[in-house]
Structure 1
């Protein structure tokens, strides 16, 4: 992975239409974003589609990156996550609610194994994130996981969790704030 200063420079150069910088940005970050997309979508073909869409969006919107609002990789991950969630909403059938203690499956629909480098990149920081998630109360933890890993909207969460919409929004908002504080510590 390339450091934030280099990624920031590559994004700035990409914003000015530099194709070489865009290619370098892709080479430096695509394995990480692909791992994020695989984790969310659990299907290699969907992850590949989403990755292509992400980089199209990066090429078109690179000038919108604001270094004072976050790290370049965070900005890229946000684009990837939103694209994955959009794709899930468009393609997924109504699925049953996972049990609270069930981990999401890590198999792929096409039966292909994950590239070891991509798996290693994905694993970076997951231990810390898991620790921080474990510190959340059950309802906020479940709300955050369903919203950000399964793509549930607030109204869908309210239905699935059998809780008022305002309560669900509070669980997600407070859960994210606690995660941010924990990860920053």
Structure 2
């Protein structure tokens, strides 16, 4: 009985921070992949400046290694075009994608805007992978993220239509 009051006081004192907690801006609203993801140029710079070590000696193939000149890289980047899709309102929130094309080939799809929910965070990589594999917006809906999937497909299709 003599421990009842201190236990009650300490329990309440331990719960006060939990009651006062409010998530910051990063936990609310929408996901913005573009702000967090490195650009293609940054990835190429990293790939060019950081030597990869494999722990084994290089294998001789008899062919000279392929090298790209800065002019060739500029031409490749000029051939790549990025087309944003429209923002599509769904029951879960707004979805907007951006597609990067090289000629008619889809080389990247990024979600510019998407609802900030667990199903959406799990669905976005699957939707991206499906779009890259299918090379179109004709992709399957991800179970548990149906509204986000439908918005993703509509925004992607509109971006592809706008690229033609």
Fold match (TM-score > 0.5): no
More strand by share: 2
| Greater fraction of residues in helix | 1
Structure (1 or 2) with the larger CA radius of gyration: 2
TM-score normalised according to structure 1 size = 0.26
TM-score, reference length from structure 2: 0.28
